[in-house]
Copies of this chain bind each other. A is one copy, B any other.
Amino acid sequence: MCEDCGCGDTKLVPVDVHARILEGNDRVARHNREHFEEAGVLAVNLMGSPGSGKTALLEAMMRHAGGRTLRVGAVSGDLATERDADRLRDAGIPSRAITTGNACHLDAEMVHEALHHIAWRELDAFFIENVGNLVCPAVYDLGQDANVVALSVTEGEDKPLKYPTMFRKANLVVVTKIDLLPALPDFDFDALRDALARVMPKPAMVRVSARSGEGMDEWMRWLDARRPRGRDR
């Protein structure tokens, strides 16, 4: 029923209203994308359930960056509070909060507005940390180059099959909290791999622990390989 969100049918919202909303968003998303491409900035739409470890992934990336000089910044979407943006700033990531009120996902206009308040042109990678939600954020293009979905091992291996819209759009799934695996004897990585293979057009997964730093190298290599090549220093 969330029709204008694009995540339902058009039972009640007139088709033209629904189409107009997505068209309007897509227009702003194209504008954002032109900005990012022109400046050579990798824009990543980071999605996942509430508590899947999106903020922790970015914090850990900074802690375990070693000698790397990847310049990153972020906007962080939540219904209320600026907690995630505060955490990211504490971790050394220039960040701005987008508080959505009651809205269940970010849209291109919210991101565009936030760009006016952050020195994003100076970055190598710009993270758009979406509202924690495994459904609606997948529908709205924000102008990003890559969709990354954080999925914690505590959520279960079946989530890609039960929330396929999100995983169909994902370029990468970051499996988080692998340090908890000893406490989850039934977790089955083969089942997760199989589920991802059924829904992702090009299945790709890295496993990380924000706590131990395991997997951070692979995650950063993935980001680096995805960066626009024209602007290497």
Interface residues of chain A, those whose CB is within 8 Å of chain B, are: 1-9, 12-14, 17, 20-21, 24-25, 49-51, 78-81, 83-84, 100-105, 107, 131-136, 139-140, 152, 154-156, 158-159, 161-165, 177, 179-180, 182-184
Contacts and interface: CB of A to CB of B under 8 A. Distances in A.
B7 A4 contact: no
Contacts of A12: 4, 17, 20-21, 24
B164 A1 contact: no
Quickly give the copy total for this chain.
Answer: 2
B4 A4 contact: yes
A79 B164 contact: yes
Given A1-B107, A51-B152, A165 B132 contact: no
Contacts of A182: 183
Contact of A158 (B3, B49, B81, B131): B81
Given A135-B104, A155-B51, A156-B51, A162 B83 contact: yes
A9 B103 contact: yes
Given A134-B133, A136-B136, A50 B104 contact: no
A2 B105 contact: yes
Contacts of A104: 2, 5, 7-8, 104, 133, 135-136
Which among A133, A140, A161, A179 has the highest number of chain B CB atoms within 10 Å? A133
Contact of A2 (B103, B152, B177): B103
